[in-house]
Structures are given as C-alpha cells and as structure tokens.
Amino acid sequence: MNDKPWEPRIVAFFCNWCTYTAADLAGVSRMKYAANIRTIRLMCSGRVDPQFVMDAFAKGADGVLIGGCHPGDCHYGEGNYKMLRRFRLLQRMLGDLGIEPERLRLEWISAAEGDKVKSVVNDMVERVKALGPFDLPGQFQSWDREVMSEAEAHAHAGQQEAK
Amino acid sequence: MSKPKVAFYWCASCGGCEEAIVDLAEDILGVVEAVDIVFWPCAMDFKKKDVEAMPDKSIVATFLNGAVRTSEQEEMAHLLRRKSQVLIAYGACSATGGIPGLANQFRLEDILQFAYHDGPSMANEAGTRPQYSSTHEGHELHLPVLREVVRSLDQVVDVDYYIPGCPPTPKLTKAAVGALLEGKLPPKGTVLSPDIALCDECPRKASKPTDLGFVEFKRPHQAIIDPEKCILAQGFICMGPATRGGCEAVCIQGNMPCTGCFGPTSRVKDQGAKFLSSVASNVGPREEGAIDQVLAGIPDPVGTFYRYGLAKSLLRRKVPKQG
C-alpha cells in the first residue's frame, strides 16, 4: 500500500517571538532543510507543557523539538528558564520510560538565526533516523493484543444470553 | 420489593480497599439494610458460578478494586461488567493502575527472573517457576496467565464511575453508595470526588508562597517536617498541586506529603507530567548545572510522580526496545 521508506515525524514547538520567526526567515531566504517537522507556534517556550510532549509521542511522533529564545531574551522574562528546568527533568524521566534522549531536544534560536533552524532540524532528523521509528500508537496496539481473546469471549457470551 | 443488589470484587490489590469498606464501621449496617450484597469474596462465601447464574444487569452496582494483570482478573471484570448496571472502579489501582502499575517499568520476564531466581532472598536451586499448566497425580492444573502489562479497570472493560484513593475514604464511599441508592449519580465517567486540587482543602494552604524557588529537594526520611508550613515549600515533594482533593488532606494532617493517590483532576491528562511541569518550573537556579544539582534531589521521577498512575499515564509503561 505504502512503499515509501519510513521518514521520521518530528513535532516542533516554536516560540512566536524567536524560533518561529527564524523558521519564517529560513523560508523567505529559500533555505532548504528536511521536511520532517510539523511546527506548532506557541507564544513562548514556557508554554510547552510536558503533557504536550508526551501526547505527541503517544500520538505517533518520533521526536519532539522545542525552540525558544536565548537565555536573557525571553519576551516574558522567565519563560525559557522555566522550559529549561522542565526539559532537564523531563528528558531524564522520559529516559527512564524508554524514550532515547535524542528524541527530545531543546534549542535556543533567535529570530535572526534562520540558518540555525536549518542546521538543528537537519541534525535532529539524522539522529532520529538513526534511532528508527518510535511508533507508540502501534506499540499500544501490540500491547493490547494480549487482552483481546478474553474480551471477545465475553462479547460472545453476552450475545448468546441475549438470544 | 427486593433490595438492590450490590457486589464487591478485588483484582491486583493489597486488601486495603476491602478494609476501607469495613472502615464504614457501624454505617455498614445501614448499607447492609439498604442493599443485598450478592458477591464479596473477601468477606462472604459466594462463588463465581453464583455470579454466572445471575441474569445480565441484575446487579445494581459492582465496586471493583485492584488493577488488572491476570487472565482471571480480566475474566472476572468482564463477567461482573455484564452482570452489573453500574461498574465502579474503586480505589487507585482500579482507577489508575495504582502501586501494581509501577510494575509497568519492567518486562514481565525480568520480574519473574528476579522474583524466582535473582532476588537476594531467593533460595531456588532447582530454578523452579510456577507453570501456567501442570499435571499432578493425573490431574491437569491451571494458573491464571500473567499479562505483560498492568492495566486500570477501564483499559479492560467499560467503567461508569471512579472512586479514587489508596484507599478511598469512608466518607466518599458512603456518599457514593448514597447517590447510588437515591439515583442521584452524576454523568457517566465522573470521578466521585471534588474536582479541585488537594491544595484547595489543605489546612496549610495559607503558608504556600507564590514563588517556591527550590534550592534543594529532601525526602521525608532525611529531615524533620515542620508540622505547620506548606510541605512543598519546605522542599519535600508533595503532589498536592497536581492531585485531586477529597481526602481532606489526611496525609498532610499526619505530617506526611501527598503522594498523589487520588489521581489528577478532570482538566489534567497526565498527573505526572503536570506535576513535573509545576515542580521543575519552580526550581530556583537558571543554569543547567545548578538546575541539575537541585533536580538530583528527585532520584526517581517515575516512581515519585506516577506512584499510582503509571498504567493510566500517556505512555502507560516503560516503552520496551523494539525488535
């Protein structure tokens, strides 16, 4: 059905004030970089809730990239520091839960650094490619195969009784 | 008119939830007066065949505690689901996987290897392991099959209501039984406990500062906890901000931090991730090295933030290496 080779899907949470603008700059400057990222614009990297990251993996992301303003440059003062602190613990915790550290990345990219968007995305795509697919939705399905027989037996018993 | 029929059952649990029913004390007499208990293996002599003989939907409500790990527990969950009008996940294990859910950090084979061979207190020179089927004096014997993954009840069958807690308090249990008998149950899927964080009902709420600015984390065995001040503000991990209230802060009143047994509120998808977000954001330092030094005070984030909720978390378990 689908003969295309596997390509990683990376969800990118970019801050409106810096990395998102930088990605825009990379675009208007006609820079070419890997087409594997799906960008989501947030008002600040500090808005990235660890739930977003885990939900992205749970829904099939192979990697998550977060882009924020350089230290000292946050539009709101503190947001990027909050993200950095969360990132340090989240990456460690996700490691304990079997998610390789290369699948989650935090980068400071200012609005002027279109070329950095390009190099970071290309580099991350290479690293995630080397790790291979994560495919958590597929894993959920395979884990739950073990409970299907019991469920089917009882659905059947219910129907029998209804007759 | 005959009294409404009620059942209690346990799966992967410690027995504490059964204890919680008994903790209704003399109020249990009122319950017994109002309902017919038709199945309660912990306390009364009924068998599985008695349940099988009941017509479908003839039990008004089943309170089922414990996580689901074995084929037998699955079978009983399906059977009781079919026989009951209302199925209530009773207690943390049933609602969110609970302590047994922490086993989702390991592969089943690794657990068996440790439990029957490598454990330091293990004396098993013959290397014997329980078999799912075996023959003894000509009789074939079967044991329930252990599943690879620990599940909450709603990951196996359809669940109508949740009563959280490790264990649930007598007050919440009584309120749920009351609502059931009066036919005043909220919409399906509701957790029968206030939908607000524990901090809201904590007697130490006033002493919680807006900015926590953690410089170190301590664990309860390492330092004395001030019995008046906000426990989180003292640098002990207290799950209160990310945990549903309703227990009336019983642990805090015993001068111990909240460990999160009531699970998240309805606005939160993943209790552990949400708590991580809150606690890490409030770390004081701004540089990587200094941040890591503070965070080193949380050596086991999975066991701390998902103590009762790993099975129901967004990732469900430690993701095993593929292939």
Q: Which residues of B touch A70 (CB under 8 A)?
A: none
CB distance A120 to A107 below 8 Å: yes
Residue B188 lies in a domain: no
Residue A123 lies in a domain: yes
Residue B192 lies in a domain: no
Same domain, B228 and B143: no
**Which range marks the domain in which residue B66 is found?**
5-99+150-182
Task: List alpha helices for B91-150, DSSP H.
Answer: 92-96, 108-113
Same domain, B84 and B176: yes
For chains A and B, CB pairs below 8 A equal 123
pLDDT band at A153 (very low <50, low <70, confident <90, very high): confident
Tell me what pLDDT residue B24 has.
86
Same domain, B84 and B125: no
- Give the chain A residue whose CA is nearest to the CA of B54: A161
- Give the chain A residue whose CA is nearest to the CA of B267: A51
Q: Is the Cα torsion angle A141, A147, A153, A156 positive or negative in sign?
A: negative
Residue B284 lies in a domain: yes
Same domain, B224 and B82: no
Residue A75 lies in a domain: yes
Query: For the residues B279-303, what does the mean pLDDT come to?
Result: 97
Same domain, B17 and B79: yes
Query: For the residues B157-170, what does the mean pLDDT come to?
Result: 97
- Mean of per-residue pLDDT scores for chain A: 94
Residue type, A153: A
pLDDT band at A161 (very low <50, low <70, confident <90, very high): low
Same domain, B73 and B156: yes
List the CATH number of the domain containing B172. 3.40.50.700
Query: For the residues A8-19, what does the mean pLDDT come to?
Result: 98
Tell me what pLDDT residue A156 has.
77
Cβ separation B318–A151 shorter than 8 A: no
CB atoms within 10 A of CB A3: 4
Same domain, B230 and B178: no
**Which range marks the domain in which residue A68 is found?**
10-137
User: Is the Cβ of B274 closer than 8 Å to some Cβ of chain A?
Assistant: yes
Q: How many structural domains are present in chain A?
A: 1
Same domain, B143 and B250: no
Same domain, B172 and B208: no
Same domain, B132 and B156: no
Task: List alpha helices for chain B, DSSP H.
Answer: 16-22, 27-34, 48-53, 71-83, 92-96, 108-113, 170-182, 250-253, 271-281, 288-295, 301-305
Residue B191 lies in a domain: no
List the CATH number of the domain containing A106. 3.40.50
Cβ separation A150–B78 shorter than 8 A: yes
Cβ separation A89–B280 shorter than 8 A: yes
pLDDT digits (tens, 9 = 90+) for B92-125: 999 999 999 999 999 999 999 999 999 999 999 9
pLDDT digits (tens, 9 = 90+) for B56-77: 999 999 999 999 999 999 999 9
pLDDT band at A4 (very low <50, low <70, confident <90, very high): confident
Tell me what pLDDT residue A162 has.
56
| Predicted model pTM | 0.94
Tell me what pLDDT residue B23 has.
86
Residue B170 lies in a domain: yes
**B186 cis-preceded (ω within 30 degrees of 0):** no
User: Is the Cβ of A53 closer than 8 Å to some Cβ of chain B?
Assistant: yes
Cβ separation B317–A150 shorter than 8 A: no
Q: How many structural domains are present in chain B?
A: 3
Q: Which residues of B touch A85 (CB under 8 A)?
A: 280-281, 283, 291, 295
Same domain, B141 and B232: no
**B260 token code pair:** 């999160």
Q: Which residue has the higher pLDDT, A97 or A1?
A: A97
Residue A3 lies in a domain: no
